[in-house]
Amino acid sequence: MSLQQSTSQTFGPYFHIGLKPIAVRLPAGAKPVVITGRVLDGDGKPVSDAAIETWQADLTGAYPVPSTDGSYPATSTLAGLGRVPTDAEGRFRIDTYLPGCVAAPGGGLQAPHILVAIGMRGLLKHLVTRIYFPGEAANADDPVLKLVPADRRDTLIARGASGELQWDVVLQGAGETVFFDC
Amino acid sequence: MIEVYRRSMQGTQPEYRFPPYGSTAKRAPTKLLVMLPHTLSETTGPVFGHDSVKAREFDLTAGHADLPLGKRIVVSGRVLDDGGKPVRHTLVEIWQANSAGRYRHPNDGPHSPLDPNFTGCGRAMTDAEGRYRFVTIEPGAYPWRNHYNAWRPKHIHFSLWGEAFTQRLVTQMYFPGDPLLPFDPIFNCVTDTKARDRLVSSLDWEATIPESAIGYRFDIVLRGRHATPVER
Ligand SMILES: [Fe+2]
């Protein structure tokens, strides 16, 4: 059996009504990290109506696993899930933590990262990207970063230090953020 | 390249750049996308439990002093993957304009009035068969500035998480026979008529409540998993 997949449609400018912010729940012992930045369009103008959704592993690099028997858990395991809108200046702030290293396909480990989906008016389907952390030795061997042209890798690595990081989303042109076909 | 989930099928998904929808011009990426392997990060997702939604959140006509204006409707259907497997226990979030076509949002208006008895936000979980159900009112069509005399057909925005980040889908549900559909660039963003038709709900007598609410059926299909991951 093969069904045709439903077509993606834009979040539109009023998604705030239905897509409420989701605060990332920090695991015990996690190192808090604040990531701030802006979303900028092809004219360098701020995008004031974007939603940024984030998904990341726990401190050991693991993700929640659904029950194999299809039962319905009493409580959700949303740890590692976040959603924030941009403000009138296109700014956003993600209050999160440094995740562990996630297993890589075929063995080895990925560098700590946050998987990101970005939706907004003017995008018929959401964009997919990743945020990596500065100063992580594992970045050099990350199998996904290696797929990105070397001169564009820095668009995926946040700047800054000591838990206060900056990461911008540049939709077009010079310094355009790397987006993935997922 | 390891692909755990099927890529999107030909003709089902829009391109980022789509000139008839004006605001894609300054927002669509201009550089080639990088193919992302499906690692554990892409193939996992939040696990939703009983505590994810409150009991009344499926009913957008409830929770205010009075009933909202407009025609009450029941919107229900199933969330399946492209292999026909139900997507169970996943969160469905919807938002919509009121019956006059106005969103309760600071940036909308003043083309039509707000309704003090309507917020326009609903949440529900799918059951073990992938079924969901909302009670709401039929939204109104509304004007937008994409081109001269542009009107969006009546629609409800849907957000789905599925079981994995790769299944994330935000889409819109339309109403059968809406005369605005042929003129809407967002609805017409893919050329495949069958794919477009999947976004149009159908009248559903089984869900209709006599003397109360007309039923509309809207099934949603997310990307499915390969039987075994394919190494390329
Ligand atoms: Fe809308």
Phi, psi (degrees; rounded to nearest 5) at A132: -105, 165
Mean of per-residue pLDDT scores for chain A: 94
What pLDDT shows up at residue B232?
46
In a domain, A1, yes or no: no
The reply to whether residue A57 touches residue B186, judged by beta carbons under 8 angstroms, is: no
Judged by a CB distance cut-off of 8 A, whether residue B186 touches chain A is yes
Let me know if residue A148 belongs to a domain.
yes
Q: Is residue A121 domain-resident?
A: yes
What are the extents of the domains in chain B?
2-25+57-221
Task: For an interface test with A, give the residue of B30, B57, B170 to mutate (most A CBs within 10 A).
Answer: B170
* Nearest-angstrom CA–CA distance, A70 and A134: 39
- A-chain residues within 8 Å CB-CB of B40? 57, 63, 102-103
| pLDDT per residue as tens digits for the range B114-158 | 999 999 999 999 999 999 999 999 999 999 999 999 999 999 999
- pLDDT the model gives residue A7: 98
Q: Is residue A180 part of a domain?
A: no
Find the domain containing A151 and state its range.
7-170
Q: Is B89 a catalytic residue?
A: no
Task: Check whether the bond before A27 is cis (ω within 30° of 0).
Answer: no
What tens digit of pLDDT does each residue of A21-50 get? Answer: 999 999 999 999 999 999 999 999 999 999
3-state secondary structure chain B: CEEEECCCCCCCCCCCCCCCCHHHCCCCCCCCCEECCCCHHHHCCCECCHHHCCHHHHECCCCCCCCCCCCEEEEEEEEEECCCCECCCCEEEEECCCCCCCCCCCCCCCCCCCCCCCCCEEEEECCCCCEEEEEEECCCCEEECCCCCEEECCEEEEEECCCCHHHCEEEEEECCCCCCHHHCCCHHHCCCHHHHHCCECEECCCCCECCCEEEEECCEEECCEEEEEEEC
Residues of A in contact with B39 (CB under 8 A): 102-105, 110, 143-144
CB-CB neighbors (< 8 A) of B23 in chain A:
121-122
B69 to chain A nearest CA, in Å? 19
Q: Indicate whether A118 belongs to any domain.
A: yes
- Count of CB contacts below 8 A, A vs B? 256
pTM score? 0.96
A147 CA distance to ligand 1 middle (Å): 36
CATH code at position A79: 2.60.130.10
Confidence band for B80, pLDDT divided at 50, 70 and 90: very high
Q: Is B147 a catalytic residue?
A: no
Q: Mean pLDDT in chain B? A: 95
Domain tally, chain A: 1
For position B74, what pLDDT does the model report? Answer: 98
B41-62 confidence digits (pLDDT tens) = 999 999 888 788 998 999 999 9
Per-position b or e across A128-144, b if 16+ CB within 10 A of its CB: bbbbbbeeeebbeebbb
CB < 8 Å to A68, chain B:
none
Catalytic residue among B38, B72, B102, B103: B103
Angle at B92 between CA B157 and CA A70, to 5 degrees: 155
CATH superfamily, domain B2-25+57-221, is: Aromatic compound dioxygenase (2.60.130.10)
Lowest average pLDDT, out of A167-176, B2-11, B211-220, goes to B2-11
The C-alpha atoms of residue A125 and residue A87 are separated, in whole angstroms, by 21
Q: Is residue B74 classed exposed, middle or buried when 0-12, 13-18 and 19+ CB atoms within 10 A define those classes? A: buried
Per residue, what are the HEC states of A47-115?
CCCEEEEEECCCCCCCCCCCCCCCCCCCCCECCCEEEEECCCCCEEEEEEECCCCCECCCCCECCCEEE
Q: Tell which wins on pLDDT, A74 or A52.
A: A52
Residue in A121, A124, A180 to test binding to B, most B beta-carbons within 10 Å: A124
What is the rounded CA–CA span in Å between residue A54 and residue A145? 18
**What are the pLDDT digits (tens) for A95-142?**
999 999 999 998 999 999 999 999 999 999 999 999 999 999 999 999
Rounded to the nearest angstrom, the distance between the alpha carbon of B41 and the centre of ligand 1 is 30
Residue of B nearest to A58 (CA): B41
Residue A90 lies in a domain: yes
